Amino acid sequence: MSSEKDPTHSDGVVVPGNGGSAPQAARSSASELAPPSREELLRVRDREEAALGRFFDRYFSHVYGLVRRLLRDETLAEDATQEVFLKVHRAIDRLDPERDPAPWLTTIAYNVCRDRWRSSADKMDRQSSSIEDQPGLSNRLGDSRSTPEEDALAHERQRLVQEAISRLPEPQREVVVLHDYEGMTHDEIAQMVGASHAAIRKRYSRALNALADLLKETLG
């Protein structure tokens, strides 16, 4: 297939995926991926084409899943994911073969999302997903399991939860997504965003309190 007609090609970089289409938003945490061997990472750093292809395929779902949760929009997530892999390709000589590359990729993905948050051209969309994917919030709101009689209200409940998350200030929204969706610890988030551990814990607590307040009336 010619790269001129393939939307997954840009600047010589083939962004993995199903013919350019992003996969379903299945959760893929960095902690679930075993890092490649040191020898494989050396090949990646040396820009061996086959090794780069394997590397991008390995981490595509993780990167796409993260940016989709942060941006709350499938189209924006597809664009942002391509931008992430372009940045990774350009900076691949900085890859440390002695370390797990997942945190490095997560940081690049987060920075791409942060830049888009700060752009007036990109807005966060409000899309639904299960409240069970927000364990911290679930603890604050009580048992979220539905009975058969409540099934008809489930989608509306999910929509209200995601609407509330989208209404949080950016610093609170990002810590909820990184902690509850990506499974990052407060220490890892603190290092990524350049804040103290105590500040991140306080920000997370405030985010959950704010969400509980937003949902108090609508969810009872």
Which residues have a Cβ under 8 Å from the Cβ of 55 and sit 6 or more positions away?
Answer: 36, 40, 44, 101
What pLDDT sits at residue 156?
A: 75
Domains within the chain, CATH numbers bracketed: 11-117 (1.10.1740.10), 131-219 (1.10.10.10)
CB 160 within 8 A of CB 132: no
Residue 215 above 80 pLDDT?
yes
Total-model pTM = 0.57
- Which range (19-28, 175-184, 206-215) has the least confidence? 19-28
What pLDDT sits at residue 127?
A: 34
Query: Of 208, 207, 190, 209, whose CA–CA distance to 199 is shortest?
Result: 190
Cα-based angle 108, 112, 113 (whole degrees, multiple of 5): 120
Look at 28 and 105; give whichever has higher pLDDT.
Answer: 105
Per-residue H/E/C for 124-135: CCCCCCCHHHCH
Give the model confidence (pLDDT) of 39-67 as tens digits. Answer: 999 999 999 999 999 999 999 998 998 88
- Which range (37-46, 59-68, 137-146, 194-203) has the least confidence? 137-146
What pLDDT sits at residue 68?
A: 84
Q: How far apart are the first and last CA of the chain?
A: 54
pLDDT level of residue 162 (50, 70, 90 thresholds): confident
d(CA 31, CA 182): 9
How much is the mean pLDDT over the chain? Answer: 74
Residue 112 above 80 pLDDT?
yes
d(CA 199, CA 186): 9
For residue 18, give the DSSP letter: B
